């Protein structure tokens, strides 16, 4: 990979001009400004090719004055139109040269440090140094729409569709299709029957499979478990009834296997919602359900992940692993904190990190840690750091910069005031690499585990529902909130101009044409989400690939196996340090 650490390319250094680039952040830096996307009339004229001016300075730590090496330093017009970038050298120095005098904006960012940007008037050889403090940006929540006339009760799910819309669905008969960019919504066609408390996932043909649940949307209907399986095609707005499961499953576990078969386990059964330990596998090609080995104990929704060795890890309860070849379960390391309220609903969410470890987030207990980390090689758990306010059944979303957003949930302990239902609006960011938490802006209202929360292509996190006591009635509020993480306030974002293909071949090449950066630091593929409450049955993968970069193009070779790169849909981001582009939705076929 070729990085430009100091100065501009030779042509510019010898008197050439800075290239004009597409618009990045403008106006007040809001997501609306960034979504304008630039365009021909948003490009700035190139500075005078005969210019001999220069802008240089130091990038340092605000607290100590120590130099920061490798900081990204950007040069933009006063309107925020991206011109170019350099990297600070080991002494913390940066330099732009070979352009005309005038007014500009210079900004600097570095991992873990707050972005700083200043206006500067360049007159000849101009100096401007930037001191970066510790990152403290809180991000921002805003209301972007609503789900009216629907207010999903205690049975809802949310799915990111291949076209970027969200499907908010609480019984498969009153599903809201919501565009997070425009806030425009519509109603999906009614399905042949109701399925509340289902699990769902998107297959690589673009259809959504809904598995199990209950016969009516009312929370009190949880004793009416069904074996129903249906398929929804968002391209045609049509439903299809598929062969039923062998057993009824209310609140089932649903896990994607590497070849896109689906593992369904546990769930409540008639007449009293007693749980089962049985499991079965669905093959989309044959549309047949085949029984497989049973879990250790009868259970329901279990936080689960496809590990990098091909085993399935589930944690509710006890933690165990499923071997696909033998079709059997075996016990794995016990969590450090074992008192978690089993056999009630799981108190935590499980996410697979890019290094292959699994992070459990959430804890039902006044004294303890909100996170535990699973080592799949040693098969052991260890406690990790905890935020000030501990919650159970919080909304947990992995972000493209590798951090984890944790929002809302049921209050357990710490400096917060829960509402009458025991819910809090608190939100935190967790950095697994540094084992550090920091608080960010709270949601507009407290939300509990019936909320539906997903990462969307533009880098925001969208949430709705989960207000009030949804185990007994509809949500109190129909609003849809979006969180702009701090990475959306760190200067010009890279832009994906084009991708060589949106259907990825394992072991094959992927080329991305980009702008608004000289050198992306990584390409990130994140499996799209399909959540029911706080449990995700989407693609359990995040891959951070290091590209070869040249002349506005970044190239990678994709992983070669289905375990490394399972079938399904992914969000593709171009990253510059911790700053993501807007994502593109791509897919890996079975």
Confidence band, pLDDT 50/70/90 cuts, at residue 470: confident
In a domain, 183, yes or no: no
Contact between 429 and 405 under an 8 Å Cβ cutoff? The reply is yes
Question: Mean of the pLDDT values across residues 338-347?
Answer: 93
Residue 92, C-beta contacts closer than 8 angstroms, at least 6 positions apart: 58, 59, 60, 66, 67, 68, 69, 71
Is residue 330 domain-shared with residue 424, that is, in the same domain?
Answer: yes
Torsion angle, alpha carbons of 73, 79, 83, 87, to 10: 0
Confidence (pLDDT) at 12? 27
Is residue 436 domain-shared with residue 307, that is, in the same domain?
Answer: yes
Confidence (pLDDT) at 263? 98
φ, ψ of residue 57 in degrees (nearest 5)? 170, -170
Confidence (pLDDT) at 217? 80
Contact between 174 and 247 under an 8 Å Cβ cutoff? The reply is no
Strand 503-504 to 584-588 pairing: parallel
Question: Mean of the pLDDT values across residues 294-309?
Answer: 97
Contact between 516 and 327 under an 8 Å Cβ cutoff? The reply is no
In a domain, 401, yes or no: yes
Is residue 462 domain-shared with residue 495, that is, in the same domain?
Answer: no
Instruction: Give the tens place of pLDDT for each residue, 259-288.
Output: 999 999 999 999 999 999 999 999 999 999
In a domain, 182, yes or no: no
- What is the maximum span of the chain, computed from C-alpha positions, in angstroms? 83
Question: Mean of the pLDDT values across residues 222-249?
Answer: 97
Is residue 513 domain-shared with residue 457, that is, in the same domain?
Answer: no
Confidence (pLDDT) at 557? 98
Please identify, among 273, 301, 329, the residue that sits at the C-terminal boundary of a domain.
301
**How many whole angstroms separate alpha carbon 542 and alpha carbon 527?**
6
In a domain, 51, yes or no: yes
Lowest pLDDT segment from 40-49, 166-175, 391-400: 40-49
Is residue 201 domain-shared with residue 215, that is, in the same domain?
Answer: yes
**Closest to 171 (Cα-Cα) out of 191, 149, 146, 186:** 191
**How many whole angstroms separate alpha carbon 353 and alpha carbon 541?**
8
Confidence (pLDDT) at 562? 97
**How many whole angstroms separate alpha carbon 351 and alpha carbon 402?**
11
Alpha-carbon distances, residue 145 vs 141, 152, 470, 476, 510 (angstroms): 12, 15, 20, 15, 35
Confidence (pLDDT) at 347? 97
Q: Which two tokens stand for residue 262?
A: 């689906």
Is residue 307 domain-shared with residue 359, that is, in the same domain?
Answer: yes
Distance of CA 587 to the CA centre of its chain: 16
What string of H, E and C letters represents the secondary structure of 198-249? Answer: CEEEECCCCCEEEECCECCCCHHHHHCECCCEEEEECCCCEEEEECCCCCCC
Residue 134, C-beta contacts closer than 8 angstroms, at least 6 positions apart: 62, 63, 112, 113, 114
Contact between 212 and 198 under an 8 Å Cβ cutoff? The reply is yes
**How many whole angstroms separate alpha carbon 493 and alpha carbon 319?**
40
Confidence (pLDDT) at 56? 98
Domain count across the chain = 5
Residue 453, C-beta contacts closer than 8 angstroms, at least 6 positions apart: 158, 395, 396, 397, 407, 461, 462, 463, 531
Confidence (pLDDT) at 18? 30
Q: What's the CATH code of the domain at 307?
A: 2.120.10.80
Is residue 483 domain-shared with residue 557, that is, in the same domain?
Answer: no
In a domain, 86, yes or no: yes
Instruction: Give the tens place of pLDDT for each residue, 427-446.
Output: 999 999 999 999 999 999 99
**Closest to 130 (Cα-Cα) out of 99, 97, 93, 85:** 93
Residue 290 has pLDDT above 80, yes or no: yes
Confidence (pLDDT) at 366? 87
Question: Mean of the pLDDT values across residues 501-529?
Answer: 97
Instruction: Give the tens place of pLDDT for each residue, 162-178.
Output: 999 999 998 898 899 99
In a domain, 186, yes or no: no
Contact between 179 and 185 under an 8 Å Cβ cutoff? The reply is yes
Strand 125-127 to 395-398 pairing: unpaired
Return the DSSP state at 3. Answer: -
Please identify, among 301, 327, 359, the residue that sits at the C-terminal boundary of a domain.
301
Confidence (pLDDT) at 16? 29
Is residue 484 domain-shared with residue 494, that is, in the same domain?
Answer: no
Is residue 312 domain-shared with residue 408, that is, in the same domain?
Answer: yes
Confidence band, pLDDT 50/70/90 cuts, at residue 216: confident
Question: Mean of the pLDDT values across residues 514-533?
Answer: 97
Residue 217, C-beta contacts closer than 8 angstroms, at least 6 positions apart: 153, 155, 170, 171, 173, 174, 194, 196
Give 36 or 425, the one with higher predicted confidence: 425
Q: What's the CATH code of the domain at 14?
A: 2.60.40.10
Confidence (pLDDT) at 410? 97
pTM: 0.91
**How many whole angstroms separate alpha carbon 166 and alpha carbon 178?**
5
Confidence (pLDDT) at 552? 95
Is residue 22 domain-shared with residue 73, that is, in the same domain?
Answer: yes
**Closest to 392 (Cα-Cα) out of 431, 357, 432, 364:** 364
Question: Mean of the pLDDT values across residues 509-524?
Answer: 97
Residue 1 has pLDDT above 80, yes or no: no
What average pLDDT does the structure give for the chain?
91
Range of the domain at 480: 137-176+450-488
In a domain, 2, yes or no: no
In a domain, 184, yes or no: no
Instruction: Give the tens place of pLDDT for each residue, 396-430.
Output: 999 999 999 999 999 999 999 999 999 999 999 99
Confidence band, pLDDT 50/70/90 cuts, at residue 9: very low
Is residue 275 domain-shared with residue 246, that is, in the same domain?
Answer: yes
Q: Which segments of 18-101 are extended strands (E)? A: 53-61, 72-76, 82-87, 93-99
Residue 10 has pLDDT above 70, yes or no: no
Confidence band, pLDDT 50/70/90 cuts, at residue 472: confident
Instruction: Give the tens place of pLDDT for each residue, 85-113.
Output: 999 999 999 999 999 999 999 999 999 99
Confidence (pLDDT) at 37? 34
Is residue 123 domain-shared with residue 98, that is, in the same domain?
Answer: yes
Residue 21 has pLDDT above 50, yes or no: no
**How many whole angstroms separate alpha carbon 321 and alpha carbon 335?**
14
Helices within 301-355 (DSSP H only)? none
Contact between 479 and 446 under an 8 Å Cβ cutoff? The reply is no
Confidence (pLDDT) at 33? 38
Residue 545, C-beta contacts closer than 8 angstroms, at least 6 positions apart: 522, 523, 524, 525, 556, 558
Residue 467 has pLDDT above 70, yes or no: yes
Confidence (pLDDT) at 155? 86
Residue 240 has pLDDT above 90, yes or no: yes
**Closest to 382 (Cα-Cα) out of 351, 426, 337:** 337
């Amino acid at each position: 990979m070729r990085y430009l650490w100091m100065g501009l390319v030779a042509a510019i250094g010898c008197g050439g001009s800075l290239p004009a680039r597409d618009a990045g952040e403008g106006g007040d830096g809001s997501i609306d400004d960034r979504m304008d996307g630039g365009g021909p009339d948003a490009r700035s004229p190139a500075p005078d090719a005969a210019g001999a001016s220069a802008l240089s300075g130091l990038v340092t730590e605000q607290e100590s004055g120590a130099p920061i090496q490798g900081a990204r330093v950007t040069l933009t017009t006063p309107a925020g139109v991206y011109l170019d970038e350099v990297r600070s050298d080991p002494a913390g120095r940066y330099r732009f040269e070979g352009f005309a005098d005038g007014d500009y904006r210079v900004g600097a960012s570095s991992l873990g440090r707050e972005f700083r940007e200043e206006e500067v008037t360049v007159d000849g050889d101009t100096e401007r140094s930037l001191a970066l403090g510790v990152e403290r940006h809180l991000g921002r929540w805003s209301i972007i729409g609503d789900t009216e006339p629907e207010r999903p009760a205690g049975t809802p799910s949310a799915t990111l569709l291949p076209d970027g819309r969200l499907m908010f669905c609480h019984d498969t008969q009153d599903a809201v299709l919501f565009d997070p960019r425009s806030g425009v919504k519509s109603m999906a066609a009614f399905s042949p029957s109701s399925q509340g408390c289902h699990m769902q996932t998107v297959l690589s043909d673009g259809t959504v499979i809904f598995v199990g649940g209950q016969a009516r949307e009312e929370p009190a209907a949880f004793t009416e478990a069904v074996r129903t399986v249906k398929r929804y095609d968002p391209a045609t707005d049509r439903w299809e009834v598929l062969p039923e499961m062998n057993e009824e499953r209310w609140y089932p576990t649903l896990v994607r296997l590497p070849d896109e078969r689906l593992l369904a386990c546990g769930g409540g059964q008639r007449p009293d919602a007693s749980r089962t330990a049985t499991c079965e596998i669905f093959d989309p090609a044959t549309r047949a359900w085949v029984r497989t080995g049973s879990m250790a104990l009868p259970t329901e929704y279990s936080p689960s992940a496809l590990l990098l060795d091909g085993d399935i890890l589930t944690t509710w309860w006890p933690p165990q692993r499923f071997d696909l070849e033998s079709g059997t379960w075996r016990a794995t390391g016990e969590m450090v904190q074992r008192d978690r309220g089993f056999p009630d609903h799981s108190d935590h969410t499980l996410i697979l990190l890019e290094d292959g470890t699994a992070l459990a987030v959430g804890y039902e207990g006044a004294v303890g840690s909100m996170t535990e980390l699973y080592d799949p090689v040693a098969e052991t758990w260890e406690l990790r750091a905890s935020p000030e306010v501990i919650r159970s059944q919080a909304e947990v979303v992995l972000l493209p910069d590798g951090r984890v957003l944790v929002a809302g949930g049921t209050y357990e302990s710490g400096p917060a005031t829960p509402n009458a239902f025991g819910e809090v609006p608190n939100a935190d960011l967790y950095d697994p690499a540094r084992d550090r938490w920091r608080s960010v802006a709270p949601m507009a209202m407290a939300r509990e585990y019936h909320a539906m929360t997903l990462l969307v292509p533009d880098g925001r996190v969208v949430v709705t529902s989960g207000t009030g006591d949804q185990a007994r009635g509809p949500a109190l509020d129909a609003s849809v909130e979006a969180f702009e993480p701090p990475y959306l306030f760190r200067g010009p974002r890279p832009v994906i101009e084009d991708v060589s293909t949106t259907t990825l071949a394992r072991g094959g090449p992927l080329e991305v044409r980009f702008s608004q950066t000289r050198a992306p630091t990584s390409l990130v593929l994140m499996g799209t989400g399909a959540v029911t409450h706080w449990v995700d049955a989407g693609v359990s993968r995040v891959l951070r690939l290091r590209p070869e970069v040249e002349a506005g193009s970044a190239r990678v070779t994709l992983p070669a196996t289905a375990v490394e790169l399972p079938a399904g849909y992914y969000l593709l981001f171009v990253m510059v340090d911790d700053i993501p582009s807007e994502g593109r939705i791509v897919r890996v076929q079975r």
